[in-house]
Amino acid sequence: MTKLILNRRKFLNTAAMTGAALASPAYLRRAHAQGGEVNIWTYNDFVPEAFKEQFESETGIKVNVRLVDDQGKQFNLLAAEAPNPSVDIMTVAGHRFLQFIDSDLLAPLDTDRLSNWGNINPTFSESDWSTINGEKWGAPILSGMEVLAYNTDYVSPEEAETWDTLFSEKYSGQTAYIIQDMMSIIMLKMGYDGNMVAYMDDPEKAAAIVEEAKNFLIEHKPLVRKYYDGGAEFQQMMVNQDILLGHSWNGPAAALINDGFPLGMAIPKEGSYGFVYTYNIAKNCPNPDNAYTFLNAILASPEIGAAMTKASGFISTYKDASNHLTDLEKKSTSFPDEQLANLQFFRAEANEMKYGLVDPAVEAIKAA
């Protein structure tokens, strides 16, 4: 796996440095007088290395990246640092906005300070979920979904059409998934609203549904090889053939496909959930001007959006970013229409109730 990653990164860095127009030179020259730093919490490869190096060179602003692998951990860390966080920009999934906003951890985004805001596809930048209390709270950068990923040398596309395969005796000890994410999918598989919005006025029913999903995963616990937390761990297990199929975010799976690994992805017939990652500014962040300089620069061109897709495997929200992808990269970030019809987006309205029930259930599954 290490060899795959290093070779791919070398290629991406070269391509990005030669092909991507990172930002207006005049804009960056003005920014150079600022200097200082900007502190970012984000997922692996969400800040392309070539972009980071050029941004630092042309602005004098040092980019400090702290990798995160879980929304809950990021929330807890930010809450512990409030009201004076060490971070300027973090990466929040759109369906988790309310948790951060209600806890007074995010600053509303001043889009007037982002001359490149219009480079984002309005499907993402102007959607209902992105506007809360009349304010924008983040810059959408990448979109993704929960998929069933499988080694095509051993698992057929027909088997990947249903989540049942993930829990079959045939692949006992050769599967993996993220428990919290699977809870939503299992509820959907059972015919319930995995967002729990439908049960906001019926908390007893919500609790019963979570209990049913929890018991399903406990019952099938002997079949799973490992519960994992991050995309890199999933990739490593696939490459080592520790697992042959698993629940995954589409980004890490797409990265393996682009590296030439025999991997397929499917949105099973029972359905799944999509999400959007956004860059957000922390309330009372230490370097707000540098944060806006960074955001405006990273939104500057479709080439940057394509570089983010190439590095992360997630789908860019930038207009025309797909024009800068190879045919293989386009293939690894697209799905048949009949599968996309099975996709819903995560929603935030019931998150307080949902995660108040799901989080203890996850711990119970781990301990069972």
At residue 34, the pLDDT reads 58
What is the Cα–Cα distance from 305 to 315, expressed in whole angstroms? 9
Q: Right CATH number for 2-143+276-332 from 1.10.150.120, 3.40.190.10, 3.40.309.10, 3.40.50.970?
A: 3.40.190.10
At residue 334, the pLDDT reads 81
Section 142-146 average pLDDT: 92
What is the Cα–Cα distance from 291 to 5, expressed in whole angstroms? 29
| Cβ proximity of 358 and 183 under 8 Å | yes
Section 62-86 average pLDDT: 93
| Cβ proximity of 16 and 278 under 8 Å | no
At residue 295, the pLDDT reads 97
23 has a pLDDT exceeding 60? no
Torsion over CA: 226, 229, 235, 240 (sign): negative
pLDDT bracket for residue 288 (50, 70, 90): very high
209 has a pLDDT exceeding 50? yes
pTM comes to 0.73
Which residue type is seen at 348? A
At residue 88, the pLDDT reads 98
Average pLDDT, the chain: 88
Torsion over CA: 177, 179, 181, 182 (sign): positive
Domain 144-274+333-367 part of CATH 3.40.190.10: yes
3-state SS class at 311: helix
- Would you state the structure tokens that stand for residue 114, as one six-digit string? 């982002």
Q: pLDDT tens across 163-191, in order?
A: 999 999 999 999 999 999 999 999 999 99
Q: pLDDT tens across 307-355, in order?
A: 999 888 888 999 999 899 999 898 888 888 888 888 888 888 888 899 9
Least confident of 88-92, 250-254, 263-267, 309-313: 309-313
At residue 345, the pLDDT reads 84
Check for a shared fold between 2-143+276-332 and 144-274+333-367: yes
Section 91-120 average pLDDT: 92
pLDDT bracket for residue 69 (50, 70, 90): confident
At residue 283, the pLDDT reads 97
5 has a pLDDT exceeding 70? no
Break the chain into its structural domains and give their ranges.
2-143+276-332, 144-274+333-367
In this structure, the number of other CB atoms found within 10 A of the CB of residue 360 comes to 12
25 has a pLDDT exceeding 70? no
Beta bridge partners of 65: 40
